[in-house]
C-alpha cells in the first residue's frame, strides 16, 4: 500500500511530525527487500571471492612439503632410492617408538647433512652411515617430497626452509602492514570521493598486485607485491558489503549481512584449496585468483553509490534519484511527498551532524568507564583475530593433507553465520561470545590429546568454528557499544589495531619448533582469556544505543553480571536512551 501525503505525517500537539526522518524510514516505501536488494546480494559474490583469495592465496603459493632434506649431488648416479640417500647422507634427529606396532620411526634432519666424501665412501663399499661423522648445514640446496603437495610453491622454488622458514610469515606480515596503510588511503577516498571510486581503485590495485605476484623471483619482490595486495584487503569487499546493507530494510538486514558473508566467504575459501591442488602451479594460481577482482570494473554501471555518502556529502538529489530507481525495479509507486520529506530530513541531519565535527577518537578515553570499555573492545578484537589466524596457519601442523583440512575449516563460516542469524538476537552478544570462545578453547586442548590426523583435524575445525562465531559477533559488537558521536572513529581504531594480530598471527606455527604442543596450547589459553573477558563487557541486545560520551560511559552500568537475555524477564535497559535498532549498528 502506498502512503498518502496525509499518512506520511503525524499530528502531535498540533504540530506535524515527519514519518520519513532518515534513510531507513524511506526504504519501506521504495522496497527494502525486493528484487533490487536481491540483485545486490548476488552482485556481492565476486567481491567475496576476491576478498577470500587476497586473504588466503599466500597460504597456498608458499606451501612447503613437510618432508624435505639436503640435496647431495655426489649420490646421483649410484642407483640409490631416495630413502637410501636419506639414510646414508642425513643425520637422524630423533627416534619415536610406536608401542602399538612395536616399531620405531626415525626422523631425519631437514637442515643438516653429513660433511664427508660420499663418492670415496661408496667407492670403498661403505653404504651405512656413522653417526660420529661431522655434520654441516645443507650445502647444495634441498630435495622435496611432493607426494602430499603436488606442486613446487614459491617457497619451495626459492628454498625458504630451515633458516629462511620465517620468510613466508614475514611476507604475510607485510601484507597486513599494507592493509593498515590501505585502510587510511581508501578510507579517505571513500569519504571524500565516494564508495564507488574507492571500490574500483581498491580492487584494481589488488588485481594488479595478484598478477604481479606471478612474476616474483625473489623475496623482496614478493614482499612488495604482498604489500600492495594488502592495501586492497578488507576494502575490496567491505565497500560493496556496506552498500548492500545500506539498501536493505531493518527486518532483513541481519539475514542479508550474515547469510551473504557466511555463504560467499565459506564457498570462496573452501574452493581455493582445490584450485591450488588442480592448477598445481603457484604462478598460474596467483593470476587466476586475480580474476574476481576485475568485477569492480563493471560496478559503476550496475551498483549504486552509497546513499548515506550522498547524504553526508550534501548530494541529496542523487540519493533521491537512486531511491526512485530502487522503487521502479521493486515495482513500487511512491508519492512525491515522501521524497520531499526525505530531502527535508536529510538537510536537517547534515545541519545537526556539524555538531559532531569536534569529537575525536581520543574522547573515548576521557571518561573512566568508557575508556575501560574501549580498551576491552580493542583487546577482545585483537585476541580473536590472533586466535583465528593461528588456527588457519596451524592447520598445516595437524594434517599433511592441508587441502582437505583447510577446505573443511573454511566451510565452518556458513553454519557460524546461520547460527548467528537464528540465535544472536535471542541469546545476546556476551554469552554467545563466551560460549563460542569456550568451545574454541576446549577443542584446541582436545586436539592436543589426540594423534595427528583426521581426529586432530576434526577438533581443530570445531575450534575454528568457535572463533568464527566470536569473530562475526565482534564485527557488530563495538558498533553497538560505542557512542554515536565517535562511533565510526572508534570502530576504525579497533579494526586498525586488529591488524597487529594479523601481523603476528602467522608466526604461531614456529612455536612448533620449540614444542609441538605449544601452538594449540597458546591458542587454547588465549581463547579462554577472550571467553572470560567477553563477560565483562555490557550486553547490547535490546539496549538503547548510547549517543553522547556520557551515555557511552553509563552504558550497561545497570546490568547484572549474570543477566542472560534468553532466560531473564528483566528489561535491563535505560529508557532515557533511544531504542536500539539494527540501523544504528552501522557506524
Per-residue pLDDT of the chain (587 residues; tens, 9 = 90+): 444 444 444 444 444 555 677 777 888 888 888 899 999 999 999 999 999 999 899 989 998 888 889 999 999 888 888 898 999 999 988 755 444 434 456 788 999 999 999 998 988 888 888 889 999 999 999 999 888 888 999 999 999 999 898 898 899 889 989 988 888 888 788 878 888 998 999 999 999 999 999 999 999 999 999 999 999 988 888 888 888 878 888 778 778 877 887 889 889 999 999 999 999 999 999 999 999 999 999 998 988 888 878 887 788 888 888 889 999 999 888 888 888 888 888 887 677 655 555 677 788 898 999 999 999 999 999 999 899 888 888 777 666 678 988 888 888 888 888 888 888 878 888 899 999 999 999 999 998 888 777 788 889 889 999 998 898 888 777 777 888 677 767 877 887 788 888 888 777 877 877 788 888 999 999 999 999 999 999 888 877 667 778 888 888 888 877 777 777 555 555 444 434 443 343 43
Angle subtended at Cα 17 by Cα 16 and Cα 19, rounded to the nearest 5 degrees: 130
564: left (phi over 0), alpha (psi -120 to 50) or beta: beta
Q: Which of 422, 423, 433 is nearest to 466 (CA)?
A: 433
22 burial level (CB within 10 Å; 0-12, 13-18, 19+): middle
**Residues 6 or more apart from 328 whose CB is under 8 A from it?**
none
Alpha-carbon distance of 434 to 540, in angstroms, equals 14
CA dist 503 → 173, 270, 384 (Å): 4, 23, 13
3-state secondary structure of 129: coil
All cell numbers assigned to 329: 525495479
Boundaries of domain holding 579: 358-587
> Does residue 463 fall inside a structural domain?
yes
SS (H, E, C) 230-285: HHHCCHHHHHHHHHHHHCCCHHHHHHHHHHHHHHHHHHHHHHHHHHHHHHCCHHHH
Q: What φ, ψ does residue 111 adopt, rounded to 5°?
A: -125, -5
Q: What CATH code is carried by the domain that includes residue 544?
A: 1.20.1250.20
Alpha-carbon distance of 476 to 464, in angstroms, equals 19
> Does residue 433 fall inside a structural domain?
yes
In 337-474, the DSSP E strands lie at none
> Does residue 134 fall inside a structural domain?
yes
> Does residue 196 fall inside a structural domain?
no
Residues 249, 24 contacting (CB under 8 angstroms): yes
**Total domains in the fold of the chain:** 2
* Of 86, 120, 144, the domain-final residue: 144
Q: Which of 73, 72, 63, 78 is nearest to 91 (CA)?
A: 72
Farthest CA pair distance, the chain: 111
* Of 144, 177, 198, the domain-final residue: 144
Query: Which residue carries 619448533 as its cell?
Result: 513
* Of 144, 167, 189, the domain-final residue: 144
> Does residue 173 fall inside a structural domain?
no
> Does residue 297 fall inside a structural domain?
no
Query: Hey, how many other C-beta atoms are within 10 angstroms of the C-beta on 543?
Result: 23
- Chain centroid, CA 539 distance in Å: 24
> Does residue 557 fall inside a structural domain?
yes
The partner residues of 135 in beta bridges, in order of sequence, read 114
Alpha-carbon distance of 467 to 461, in angstroms, equals 10
Alpha-carbon distance of 459 to 447, in angstroms, equals 5
> Does residue 218 fall inside a structural domain?
no
Query: Hey, how many other C-beta atoms are within 10 angstroms of the C-beta on 23?
Result: 20
Amino acid at each position: 500500500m502506498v502512503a498518502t501525503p496525509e499518512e506520511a505525517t503525524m499530528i502531535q500537539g498540533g504540530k506535524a511530525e515527519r514519518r520519513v526522518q532518515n534513510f531507513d524510514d524511506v526504504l519501506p516505501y521504495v522496497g527494502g527487500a525486493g528484487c533490487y536488494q536481491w540483485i545486490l546480494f548476488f552482485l556481492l559474490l565476486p567481491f567475496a571471492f576476491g576478498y577470500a583469495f587476497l586473504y588466503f592465496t599466500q597460504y597456498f603459493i608458499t606451501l612447503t612439503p613437510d618432508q624435505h632434506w639436503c640435496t647431495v649431488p655426489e649420490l646421483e648416479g649410484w642407483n640409490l632410492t631416495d630413502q637410501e640417500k636419506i639414510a646414508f647422507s642425513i643425520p637422524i634427529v630423533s627416534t619415536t617408538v610406536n608401542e602399538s606396532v612395536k616399531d620405531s620411526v626415525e626422523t631425519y634432519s631437514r637442515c643438516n647433512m653429513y660433511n664427508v666424501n660420499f663418492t670415496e665412501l661408496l667407492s670403498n663399499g661403505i653404504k651405512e652411515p656413522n653417526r660420529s661423522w661431522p655434520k654441516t648445514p645443507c650445502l647444495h640446496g634441498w630435495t622435496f617430497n611432493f607426494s602430499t603437495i603436488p606442486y613446487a610453491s614459491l617457497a619451495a622454488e626459492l628454498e625458504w626452509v630451515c633458516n629462511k622458514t620465517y620468510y613466508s610469515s614475514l611476507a604475510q606480515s607485510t601484507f597486513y602492514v599494507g592493509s593498515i596503510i590501505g585502510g587510511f588511503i581508501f578510507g579517505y577516498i571513500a569519504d571524500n570521493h565516494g564508495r564507488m571510486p574507492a571500490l574500483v581503485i581498491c580492487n584494481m590495485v589488488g588485481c594488479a598486485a595478484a598478477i604481479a605476484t606471478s612474476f616474483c623471483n625473489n623475496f623482496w619482490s614478493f614482499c612488495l607485491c604482498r604489500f600492495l595486495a594488502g592495501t586492497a584487503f578488507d576494502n575490496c569487499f567491505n565497500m560493496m558489503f556496506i552498500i548492500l546493507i545500506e539498501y536493505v530494510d531493518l527486518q532483513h538486514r541481519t539475514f542479508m549481512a550474515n547469510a551473504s558473508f557466511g555463504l560467499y566467504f565459506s564457498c570462496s575459501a573452501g574452493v581455493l584449496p582445490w584450485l591450488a591442488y588442480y592448477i598445481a602451479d603457484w604462478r598460474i594460481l596467483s593470476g587466476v585468483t586475480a580474476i574476481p577482482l576485475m568485477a569492480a570494473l563493471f560496478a559503476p554501471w550496475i551498483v549504486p553509490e552509497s546513499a548515506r555518502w550522498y547524504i553526508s556529502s550534501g548530494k541529496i538529489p542523487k540519493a533521491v534519484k537512486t531511491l526512485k530507481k530502487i522503487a521502479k525495479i521493486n515495482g513500487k509507486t511512491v508519492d512525491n511527498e515522501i521524497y520531499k520529506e526525505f530531502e527535508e530530513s536529510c538537510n536537517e541531519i547534515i545541519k545537526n551532524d556539524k555538531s559532531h565535527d569536534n569529537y575525536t577518537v581520543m574522547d573515548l578515553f576521557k571518561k573512566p568507564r568508557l575508556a575501560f570499555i574501549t580498551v576491552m573492545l580493542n583487546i577482545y578484537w585483537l585476541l580473536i583475530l590472533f586466535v583465528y589466524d593461528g588456527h588457519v596457519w596451524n592447520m598445516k601442523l595437524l594434517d599433511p593433507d592441508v587441502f582437505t583440512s583447510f577446505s573443511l575449516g573454511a566451510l565452518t563460516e556458513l553454519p557460524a553465520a546461520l547460527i548467528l542469524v537464528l540465535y544472536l538476537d535471542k541469546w545476546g552478544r556476551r554469552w554467545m561470545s563466551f560460549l563460542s570462545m569456550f568451545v574454541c578453547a576446549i577443542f584446541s586442548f582436545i586436539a592436543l590429546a589426540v594423534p595427528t590426523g583426521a581426529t586432530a583435524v576434526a577438533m581443530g575445525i570445531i575450534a575454528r568454528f568457535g572463533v568464527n562465531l566470536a569473530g562475526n559477533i565482534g564485527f557488530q559488537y563495538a558498533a553497538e557499544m560505542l557512542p554515536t558521536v565517535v562511533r565510526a572513529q572508534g570502530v576504525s581504531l579497533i579494526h586498525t589495531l586488529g591488524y597487529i594480530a594479523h601481523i603476528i598471527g602467522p608466526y604461531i606455527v614456529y612455536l612448533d619448533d620449540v614444542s609441538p604442543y605449544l601452538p594449540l596450547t597458546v591458542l587454547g589459553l588465549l581463547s579462554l582469556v577472550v571467553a572470560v573477558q567477553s563477560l565483562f563487557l555490557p550486553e547490547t541486545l535490546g539496549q538503547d544505543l548510547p549517543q553522547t560520551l556520557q551515555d557511552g560511559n553509563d552504558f550497561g552500568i545497570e546490568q547484572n553480571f549474570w543477566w542472560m537475555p534468553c532466560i531473564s524477564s528483566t528489561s535491563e535497559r535505560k529508557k532515557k536512551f533511544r531504542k536500539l535498532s539494527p540501523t544504528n549498528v552501522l557506524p
